[in-house]
Amino acid sequence: MEKEKEAPAKETTAVKQAPSLYKYKLVRKSDNLTKEGNDITYVVWKSNGTFHSLSNSPSVGMSMALDLEYGVKSTYITDQITKILEQSSEGLVFETKDGKYELTQNKAFFSKS
């Protein structure tokens, strides 16, 4: 009887993840929904829920938009911010009726040379 040959051991190699090409990453904490983009804009709404203006700084009642183009298209836009939990030069943590979000910067784009 022939002896069964053992299967050769499989080599495992770690796959390196490519660095992100985006400046910002937004994560919804409840389900880890992750969106990336290069521009952050805050949308100011009128009391009737229609568009009013854009801002560079967040505030309660505004929505955060990633890569907003001409006010009509974006990578992602949140519901209105209900509470700002943390704000620093490196990111923002805020809540909407949809959940808690964390916005962080890709340090490769913002590192001081």
What is the tens place of the pLDDT at every residue in 38-74? 999 999 999 999 999 999 999 999 999 999 887 667 8
Higher confidence at residue 46 or residue 109?
Answer: 46
User: Which element (helix H / strand E) includes 109?
Assistant: helix 107-110
Predicted confidence (pLDDT) per residue in 76-102, tens digit: 999 999 999 999 988 999 999 999 999
Check whether 12 has a pLDDT greater than 60. no
The pLDDT of residue 20 is 64
β partners of residue 92: 87, 103
What pLDDT was estimated at residue 84?
Answer: 98
State the DSSP H helix or E strand holding residue 110, giving kind and residue range, or none if neither: helix 107-110
Q: Are 57 and 73 in contact (CB under 8 A)?
A: no
What pLDDT score was predicted for residue 14? 57
Transcribe 18-73 into DSSP letters: PPP--SEEEEETTTTEEEEES-EEEEEE-TTSSEEEEESS--TT-EEEES-BTTTB
In the predicted structure, residue 33 carries a pLDDT above the cut 90: yes
Total-model pTM:
0.76
